[in-house]
Structure formats: structure tokens, C-alpha cells
Amino acid sequence: MVAQPTTQPTAQPSTQPSQPPAPAPIEPTSPQLVAQPTAQSPAPSPQPVAAPTPSLLVAQPTVPTTAQPTADIPYVPSAAAIELMAKPAANRFYSPLVLNIANSEGVSLSELERIPGTGSDGRVSKRDILQYVADKKAGRIPAIQQPLLVVQPTTQATPQPYQQPAPTYTAPVETTPAPMLVAQPTSPPTSQPIVQPTAQTEPVAPVERFAAPTPPQLVVQPTAQQENKPVTEPVYQAAPQPVAQPTAQSSPVPPSQDIVYSTAQSSGKFSEPSSVVVSGETEIVEMDRMRKLIAKHMVDSKATSPHVTSFAEADVTNMVMWREKVKKEFEQREGTKLTFTPMFVECLVKAMKRFPLVNCSLNGDQIIIKKDINIGMATALPSGNLIVPVIKGADQLNIVGLSKSVNGLADAARNGKLKPEDTTGGTFTLTNVGTFGSLMGTPIINQPQVAIMAVGAIKKRAVVIESAEGDTIGIRHMMYLSLSYDHRIVDGSIGASFLTAVAKEFEQWDVNKQWFHYL
């Protein structure tokens, strides 16, 4: 109806405003208005063609060219954005991704300087800037009135004069298609109310009849096995034969007072294992899904990789002293606890950069050396199972970022909130057997990796301390390290050298280490 007025705007508006007051309440006038613009020939046949009228009415609002110039407006960053991208502040490096997020979220240059960085050397990572933006929107951080990046479109007044025709065309769109949509679809459903499905519901009744007498299923089977225990009283009753067929699963276990059916407790989203205690001497527990996967994975690893394990001893007194000195302030400032695991990971990453062969995998006859260092940490679950969440990009995180990653993944694992991507992509695994008091262990390689390191419990022992003044005996915090590696790729010399390098990193931990790089 509106597509034609573009060529003849003078004829229709002159005739229509004089007639609408009288025929407006009359319903037959609405199809006449729809039939005239759709077909040029005056024939009554256009009435079934009334369906295209919504397309004509809908296509008209898209005709104004005001929306097109708005989409072609180039992006013009403000002067503050150009200054932010041109030079870093306070000698801090900002990646293009961080600058992009700051640009889109309106984070100023001074705000970037105040954001604590958890990346290497205190750099602001993607997670840091996103966390800051979320805190700012939630009102936990006072906003600074310095908008950093502002898009300044050159033509803003052009869309305004064309906003008036929009409401004029929306009114007929809502009224005219309503009767058309209601009139046409009502006819097809009239043929669909088929009462035939009611006949299909009748066979459901006999299914319920056979399901109801399920209690006698446990009573029918013992009649053939009463020889094991004599029964003087008539305990068993006759049951219908069709009910006895589904009880084939319970036939191997005769009902007796010596047999107890129980369900072992399990946590997590996996199925609960069922156990059968026979005569109070034997308990048969069926593995849950997670335990079956762990068992298969361990057997496959031993069958795939020839395991070799090397051991080393490390004096971690400096690590213990530094943690005791800063752990309270660390938790108050960062909101997370400082454990030994992120400290171990930081030392492990430094040694792995010098021995890239331990950070690889084997594909047939090809050795695939990984450039990314993703450390998996074995985590015990309350159900007794084991899972290995992965710290992605461990070499790009400082001690603060590692602590938040370790604690976050461990909490998510224990609460069953890990995502699938949290347990994939690992290139090396660290397991802390000392958490349970073990001094050392021989861990199994987590395929397709080629090495795994275990750290034992920290114990105070009297050791010989070598110095320039001579040898002395002192009380030190000592710990054993063990490394299991795939002998197909890693030989004993490389494995032992790498393990010794990790132990040296433990021993040379800086007691005065600065753990934050921002004011």
C-alpha cells in the first residue's frame, strides 16, 4: 500500500482523508484498502493475495536511507584513546587485547595504571581488565570521570528527521495483518484434532497392570532355592507367571537374612556405586563412571610409556620462611590464600624453559614440542576420585596469578563446577603427594604427556650446611622430589638434570621476593 505512493503521492492522500471518518469503524473497508495497492487491475481476485500486504507494509519502513549512512560512519577514536595506544604508562606494557577492552569499556589511562596485574612482571591480563570492568559496573570500584575512548560520529543529525514517519507506518502493520493471520491458520488446525491417539493410550493401561504387582517378584524366586535355609512358616505366596519373567536379574541372589543390599555413598554428578555384602565377609562395590575412566587411563599409560622415576632432595627453608612472612598480607591484599603449589609451579616453569623436551608429546615417530606451558595439577576429590585441572599459560603468570588460578581450579574441582576446557590441554603434570603426609612417590604419566613430577611432605631434619667458613649442622626444611618420565623420549641424563634444576630453583627462592608490582 505504501510502495506505490512513492510515484503518486498527490492522488491518494487527497481522497483518503475525506473518506476515513465514516468507513473507519466498518470492518469490510479493511480488505478493500489492502486489495487496491497490491494489484493494479480492479478485480475482486486480489482478496486471497491479501497475504503479501504485510510484506509491502513491512518493506516500506526499510526504504528510508537514514539507516544506511549511520552504518557507514567510520570509527573515530578520541584523543585519549590515541594517546593510550601510542605510549604505555609508567613503563607498563599493555597488550593490544587489553587496550581493545579498555577502549570498548571506557577505561581511562589512569585507571589502567591502578589495575593490579597478575601477568608476568605485573602485566595486566585479559582477566584483570575484565574483572576490573565487572567490579566497576557493580559499584565496587568508584568510577573516574575520565572517559577514555569516545566514538564521535560526524553526522548525528541525519537520522532525526526520519524518525517521524516510522510511527505512522507501525499502526497499520499492527491492525491489518492481525485478521489475516488469525483467519488463515485457524482452518488447518481444525483438520488436525485427530482423536486417534486416544486409541493408542489404551495399551498403556495393561503396562501399569504388570508394573503394579512388582512386589511379588522378590518372593517368587526363592521357591526354587529353599534348600539352603529351611522355612517352617508359609512365607512365600504364589505369583502370576508373567510377573516372574522380569525377575531374572534377581534370581542369582536368594533372599536371606545374611544378605544385605546397600548403596555406597558417593558425591559428584556420577552414578552411585551399588555394593552387596555377603555373609558379612565380602563386599562387592561396582566402580562409578569416573573410577572406570581413571583405571583405564592408568593402565593405558603403563602399557604405552616405559616409566622411569628419578629422585632428588631439596632444601626449601627459604620458601617456608618467605611464605610465613607474607601469607597474611597476601591474603588480605589479593583475597586468596598463598599455598606452596603456586610457588612450586613458578619454579617448575623456569626449569621447563631450559629443558623443552619434557614439555612435549609423541605421535608415532614424531616428537611434538609444545610452546605453551600448561601445568596440570592432580586434585583429590571428596569422593575419593582424582581429577587434573590445567593452569593454562602458567609461564605467563606471576605468583599472584598462579595463586588465583590454583585456588580457583581446586575449589571448582571439589565442588563439581569444573568446565570441560579446565581439564584439557595440559603439557606437564604436578602432583603433591606431601599433602597426605607421603615423603615421595612414583607417579604415573598423564598421557599423552611425557613426564610428571611429585613433591613430598616438607619435614625438618638435621642436615650438613656447606659454607665458605666450613661445614655445620643445622635444622632445615627438606623435601623429596620425584620425576616419572617416558623413556622413549626422555633419557636418564635429561630427566635427572631437569629434576636437579627444579630442586635448585626451590633452594634458591628469594626470601625478599616482591610479590606485587603495582602501587
pLDDT of residue 98: 82
Which of 137, 172, 203 finishes a domain?
Answer: 137
Burial (CB count within 10 angstroms: exposed 0-12, middle 13-18, buried 19+), residue 244? middle
467 found inside a domain: yes
Identify the pLDDT of residue 138: 80
The answer as to whether 303 is a domain residue is no
- Asked if the structure places residue 103 within a domain, the reply is yes
Distance CA 279, CA 508 (A): 59
Residue 211 to residue 306: CA distance in whole angstroms: 55
Write out the three cell numbers for 327. Answer: 601469607
pLDDT at 219: 43
Residue 60 covered by a domain: no
Q: What is the number of domains present in the chain?
A: 2
- What's the pLDDT score for residue 142? 59
Can you give the CATH number for the domain in which 358 is found?
A: 3.30.559.10
491 annotated active-site: yes
The answer to the question of residue 266 being in a domain is no
Low-confidence residues of the chain: pLDDT under 70: 1-91, 121, 142-279, 517-519
| pLDDT value, residue 232 | 46
Give me the pLDDT at residue 167, please.
Answer: 45
Nearest 10 degrees: Cα torsion 318, 319, 325, 326: 140
Question: SS3 letters for 219-264?
Answer: HHHHHHHCCCCCCCCCCCCCCCHHHHHHHHHHCCCCCCCCEEEEEC
pLDDT digits (tens, 9 = 90+) for 20-54: 444 444 444 444 444 344 444 444 444 544 444 44
Per-residue pLDDT, 276: 53
Picking from 137, 167, 187, the residue at the C-terminal end of a domain is 137
Where is the domain boundary, 94, 110, 137?
137
Q: SS3 of 39, please?
A: coil
User: How buried is residue 265: exposed, middle or buried, by Cβ count under 10 Å (0-12/13-18/19+)?
Assistant: exposed
**368 within some domain:** yes
CA-wise closest residue to 403 among 252, 515, 279: 515
Please choose, from the candidates 135, 136, 153, the residue with its C-alpha nearest in 3D space to the C-alpha of residue 75: 153
**Which residue of the set 135, 258, 411, 487 is catalytic?**
487
User: Can you give the residue range of the structural domain that contains 334?
Assistant: 308-507
Residue 516 lies in a domain: no
Say which of 486, 491, 510, 517 is annotated catalytic: 491
Does some domain include residue 4? no
